[in-house]
Amino acid sequence: MQGTLVLMVLKTLDVLGPQHGYGIARRIEQISGDLLAVNQGTLYPLLLKLEHEGSIVSQWGASENKRRARFYRLTTTSRKQLQAEARDWEQTAAIIARFFEVQAEDLP
Amino acid sequence: MRFLRRFFIRLSNFATGRRADQRACEEIAEHLALQKKEENLRAGMPPAKARMQAALKPGAAQAIRERHNAEQGLPLAENFLLDVRYAFRMLHRSPGFALIVIATMALGVGATTAIYSVIDATLLHPLPYPNPSELVRIEDDLPGVGAQDVSVSIPEWRDLENSGIFQYVALDYFASMNLTGSAQPTRIAYKGVTPNYFAMLGVGAQLGRTFDPGDNTPAFNLELVLSDGLWKRAFGADPRILGKTVRLDNDVYHVVGVMPPGFRDQGSSSEERNMDLWVAGGFAAPPFPPPLRNSRFGTAFARLKPGLSVASAQAHIDALVASLKKQYPADYPAQAAWTIRLIPLAETLVGNLRQSLILLFGAVCLVLLISCVNVANLLLARASARGREIAVRQALGAARMRLIRQLFTEGLLLFILGGITGFAVLFCARKFLLQFVPDSLPRLNDISISWGVLAFAMVVSVAAGTIFGLAPAWLTSRLNLAATLRQEGRGSNGSRQRSRLRHALVIGELALSLVLMIVAGLLLRSFWDLFKVQLGFNPGRVMAIEAWLPFPNDPKTDIYSTATQESVLLREVLRRNRTLPGVEEAAVGDRAALPLGHVKDDLNMFPLIREGQDVQSSQPPLIDTSIVSPEYFHLLGMTLLRGRLFVDQDLEDTPSIAVINQAAARAYWPDQDPVGKRVRLVRLRVAKPDWTTIVGVIADARTESLADAGIPQVYLDIYQHIAKDLAFFLRGPVDPAAISAQVRTQIQSVDSQLPVFRAETLDDVLSSSLSVRRFSMEMVALFAATALLLAGLGIYGTISFLVNEQSREIAIRLALGAQRSHILGMVLRQGLTLAAAGAGVGLVGALIVSRLIGSLLYGVSPYDLSTFAVVTAVLTAVAIAASYVPALRAMHLDPITTLHSE
């Protein structure tokens, strides 16, 4: 799940622009139709890791509560990287999907 | 790339101690606030319930913070630091344990490092010259006549120079000269070399220059290079020394250079390595003998062409030898089987010391191993005492890997502290320890505690800590949680594996120390046998004092150019010496006549031509030759077996005579009476020697080597043959402190130009000839004693531990009426079983090892039954004694207190 969560986080930031941690988690839950619950114990260390790796940057901003919150946004390099990884992911997903479509009688 | 970026950020956070804990807390708090608000809105829950829900959903905030922190820094390193801190606290809490472990490791690592520093200087870096692997020694062998290393003749040297294999081929010989002109005439060891000598070594002068390698002067070129030591000693470090003239053996040389302070000449004796003076020449014109192929003179050294290996150079040499043999069949008769061998110079310098040093290193490694085993055993014993602590930690959720890491850190810390302590002690005591190293060790002056040695000590400690710290940590962390906690600190039974490992460790320890003790025992017996050997001469109360007569290059300026001229001086000096207080007998000989005290070199080995059997060109055998006065044999108590000795009537103008020893008679005149046979001894600077008649045979004496009685010897009369390097022998109750000055006065009152040096008793000479053997024997014995002590401690610890573990069982037995002597026997039996197993394994190991050291032994078989038996008995006795103390404690156990305390 770690790898896919990275993709989800990056894609969320790509679509929504700068977001705080809660916003990212909420967005992922919404998109997944509340099927995925993002554990903040996983999310925040992951965000820190991505920041260390240079994929995202963060700065303080004001939340809807009018309180300090850390906002994350993509860097330009990571935008390109995201596109490449999205393509990879689509390819992988397509391959896996095909495996499940194939029935025993379809085999030559 | 991204991984590296992340790693460096974490590393810098770790190093600077920067923490974003505040940020994590704030983010989590805001997350919860936002979540609460939204859920409230969505479900219309009462606020208290919503807050709880919000808090429940993401999990424990503390755990999140920890994970956040882990991402921030480097948890592995942080944990390591924590472990180290904790380990220090634990050691502080049990200082006795820490002290014992650190002392044991300090002993092991310190001893190993000490021996390593010797090996580092001698075996690993024997040659302080650039590209030392290119340097070789060239040895001519004549296996057909049983002669090895017979020197190189001048035409052969030229052939080698022109062979294209070498950059330089240099010749050298070493001898003494008188340096006159200063207040006290001094005798100086010098080396005569070909002018390319320093170019071959690749070392330049600190002042002036060395010899010009292109110099072709056939005789001495009268140039002189000084050592830094002599320049400072005799010339007050005069900066204008270059071009000054110095009188050596009445010849005038001028100084062309001074070698740098750290320069050490190559050579196998300390005298050669600390050479003070070099003169150069072509070795081809008088005073050198005529350059003939069969006139072998000087030792050859060479620097190979770069990139050429010794093996391929040897192949070229073999081809060269074959073609020379074809070209000069008269000079290289087939029966002599002339060959030339190239030996890497590094190997020739250490010589037979290599074996001794490797033996010592092996012995010290065993000691290190035993100390490691001992420490591992202690760590295991301590682990059982800490069983409860470990169990509690595990119960609180410590992961096994984490526990192992922590225990391992503790062990490693102990090993490293031990290593540092050992190194520190060694560093502080290095001056003191170096006194015990015999002088004959090459590069003694260069033994130092360097960075390389420090690195060695650290690597050894860390490696030992890793190997011997990991196993106890592994086993300790592996315990039955419930059982340990339930026992509530009653002596735990420990795991079966752990006790099995402990037994194996003790058995190993005992076996290793048995091996060491047997080696030490065998060396001790060899040494004792050598010490007690029948010498064949009597060194008691004999003093030897050396002097040197000048040997000028121009024979016309030599006032001692004939034996008759010299005999006037010698007879007068002997007459005066006999009047000195305490002197009962006096004799004189050349340096080769000094028993066991002279370096075996080319200068006293001469070809022996037997009348009717050999001709000079047939490569006759070389024989050890001494020149002595008639009183010499009686003074040293050598027995005449046949014929007669020298008498006063034998003079230079009467027929030349010689005395040989029994070994020479056996070797060269088997089944014949040698008395009356005539020989020619081809000596240096004597072009055509006269026939010499053998007049007597004396019994063999170990004057050349303590270990070998049968080395052929021939003695010439000093009143018939000139000898320049003199040794005066005085027997009687003389005062060793005063005699040197008294003899000097006597000699210099006859000729004030003669240097007198080095007064030693023959007993001292004898004992210093055993110095390397004694050193290695003492060291191995010391190591063996250490090993025995450690093994004793090991078995003591193990039996004490067993008694502790079984105290409940013993108490119950006693309560049920067991005899106390039975308990004693029970515990002792456990100790004895361990000892027997250790001895069994050790004996097998000792049989292997003793065969390896066979060549270092003298007069004792490597499988000497009595040594093996005595050593095994000693080990068993120590094992029993070490188990006796805990056994007594078990016997006197009070059943009531023991059972109550449980």
Region of residue A38 (phi > 0: left; psi between -120 and 50: alpha; otherwise: beta) = beta
- pLDDT at B421 > cutoff 90: yes
Helices (H) and strands (E) in chain B, counts: 29, 21
For residue B285, pLDDT beyond 80: no
Over its C-alpha atoms, chain B yields an Rg (Å, rounded) of 38
Q: Does residue B694 share a domain with residue B577? A: yes
Confidence of residue B492 (pLDDT cuts 50, 70, 90): very low
Chain B residues within an 8 Å CB radius of A64 = 34, 37
Is residue B491's pLDDT more than 50?
no
**Closest Cα of chain A to B399: distance in Å?**
20
Q: Residue A53 belongs to a domain with what CATH number? A: 1.10.10.10
Q: Which among A45, A53, A68 is the nearest to B26, CB-wise? A: A68
Query: How many beta-carbon pairs below 8 A join chains A and B?
Result: 75
Q: Find the residue in A nearest to B20 (Cα).
A: A48
Domain assignment present for residue A107? The answer is: no
pLDDT at B668 over 90: no
Q: How many CB atoms lie within 10 A of CB B425?
A: 18
For residue B797, the model assigns a pLDDT of: 83
Give a yes or no: residue B589 inside a domain.
yes
The DSSP element (H or E) to which B253 belongs, if any, is: strand B251-258
Among B604, B614, B621, residue whose Cα is nearest residue B664: B621
Q: Is residue B107, in this structure, part of any structural domain at all?
A: no
**Do B414 and B512 sit in the same domain of this protein?**
yes
B698 pLDDT tier (thresholds 50, 70, 90): very high
Q: Does B33 touch chain A (CB under 8 A)?
A: yes
Give the nearest chain A residue to B29 (CA atoms): A69
Q: Do B736 and B789 belong together in one domain?
A: no
Tell me: do B390 and B320 sit in the same domain.
Answer: no
pLDDT tens across B568-581, in order?
Answer: 889 999 999 999 88
Selected residue with higher pLDDT from B629 and B706 = B629
Using a CB-CB distance cutoff of 8 angstroms, which residues of chain A are in contact with residue B59?
A: 39-41
d(CA B588, CA B718): 8
Residue B526 and residue B567 in one domain? no
Confidence of residue B489 (pLDDT cuts 50, 70, 90): very low
Domains of chain A: total: 1
For the cut 90, the answer to whether the pLDDT of residue B629 exceeds it is: yes
Residue A4 sits at the chain B interface (C-beta within 8 Å) = no
Coil vs helix vs strand at B258: strand
Q: Inspect the interface and report whether the beta carbons of B34 and A44 lie closer than 8 Å.
A: no
Least confident of A80-84, B75-79, B170-174, B483-487: B483-487
Looking at the DSSP assignment, which residues form a beta bridge with residue B680?
A: B609
Residue of chain A with shortest Cα separation from B1 = A53
Report the C-alpha gap between B305 and A99 in whole angstroms.
69
Contact (CB<8Å) B64/A20: no
Q: Which of B46, B73, B100 is the last residue of a domain?
A: B73
Q: Is the pLDDT of residue B208 over 50?
A: yes
User: What percent of chain B is modeled with pLDDT above 90?
Assistant: 12
pLDDT at residue B839 in the model: 92
Cβ-based neighbours of B624, under 8 Å, separated by 6 or more: B592, B604, B605, B704, B711, B712, B713, B714
Q: Is the pLDDT confidence value at B112 over 80?
A: yes
In the predicted structure, residue B183 carries a pLDDT above the cut 60: no
Q: What is the pLDDT of residue B476?
A: 76
Closest-CA distance, A5 to chain B, in angstroms, reads 16
- Asked if A52's CB is within 8 angstroms of B30's CB, the reply is no
Whether the pLDDT of residue B513 is over 70: the answer is yes
**Hey, are the CB atoms on A65 and B31 less than 8 Å from each other?**
no
3-state secondary structure of A61: strand
Determine the structural domain holding residue A17 and report its residue range.
2-102
In a domain, B130, yes or no: no
Judge if B635 and B704 occupy the same domain. yes
The three-class DSSP label of residue B343 is strand
Tokens of B69: 């922190």
Same domain, B367 and B326: no
B758/B187 Cα distance (integer angstroms): 10
Q: Amino acid identity, residue B541?
A: R
- Provide, rounded to the nearest whole percent, the portion of chain B with pLDDT above 70: 89
B-chain residues within 8 Å CB-CB of A41? 58-60, 63-64, 67
Domain extent at residue B31: 2-73
In this structure, are B510 and B565 located in the same domain?
no
Q: Average the pLDDT over B485-504 and give the result.
A: 65
Residue B126 has pLDDT above 80, yes or no: no
**Most confidently predicted of B446-450, B706-710, B890-894:** B890-894
Q: What was the pLDDT predicted at B559? A: 81
* Shared-domain flag, residues B562 and B517: no
Number of domains in chain B: 4
Pure H helices in B44-168: 47-56, 61-72, 75-93, 95-119, 154-161
Q: Which residue of A has its CA nearest to B8?
A: A52
In a domain, B85, yes or no: no
- Domain identity same for B651 and B516: no
Residue B743 lies in a domain: yes
- Assigned domain for B117 exists: no
| Nearest Cβ partner for A48 among B26, B35, B68 | B68
Residue B715: pLDDT band with limits 50, 70, 90:
very high
If asked whether residues B560 and B704 sit together in one domain, one would say: yes
Burial class (CB in 10 A: 0-12, 13-18, 19+), B863: middle
Q: CB of B23 within 8 Å of any CB in chain A?
A: yes
Q: Is residue B788 pLDDT above 70, yes or no?
A: yes
Using one digit for the tens of pLDDT, what is the confidence trace for B602-626? 556 777 888 877 665 566 777 888 9
Best-predicted range by mean pLDDT among B264-273, B287-296, B635-644?
B635-644
Q: Would you say residue A94 lies in a domain?
A: yes
CB-nearest partner of A65 from B27, B34, B68: B34
Residue B288 lies in a domain: yes
Check pLDDT > 80 for residue A75: yes
Distance from CA of B49 to the nearest CA of A (A): 20
The answer to whether residue A73 is domain-embedded is yes
- Which of B26, B53, B73 terminates a domain? The answer is B73
Q: How would DSSP label each residue in B190-234?
A: EEEE-TTHHHHHT---SEE----TT---SSEEEEEEE-HHHHHHH
Please tell me if residue B55 touches chain A, with a CB cutoff of 8 Å: no
Contact A44/B57, CB-based, under 8 Å? Answer: no
Q: How many CA atoms lie within 13 A of B485 on its CB side?
A: 10
Q: Is residue B44 scored above 70 in pLDDT?
A: no
The whole-chain average pLDDT of chain B stands at: 82
Q: How many CA atoms lie within 13 A of B263 on its CB side?
A: 25
Say if the Cβ atoms of B30 and A55 lie within 8 Å.
no
| Distances from the Cα of B37 to the Cα of B25, B174, B901, angstroms | 18, 101, 61
Q: What is the pLDDT of residues B209-224, one digit of tens each?
A: 889 888 878 888 888 8
Q: What is the mean pLDDT of residues B73-102?
A: 84
Query: Is the same domain home to B364 and B217?
Result: no
Position A2 scores a pLDDT of: 56
Question: Does pLDDT of A33 surpass 60?
Answer: yes
Confidence of residue B757 (pLDDT cuts 50, 70, 90): confident
pLDDT digits (tens, 9 = 90+) for B132-176: 888 898 888 877 766 677 778 888 888 888 888 889 999 888 777
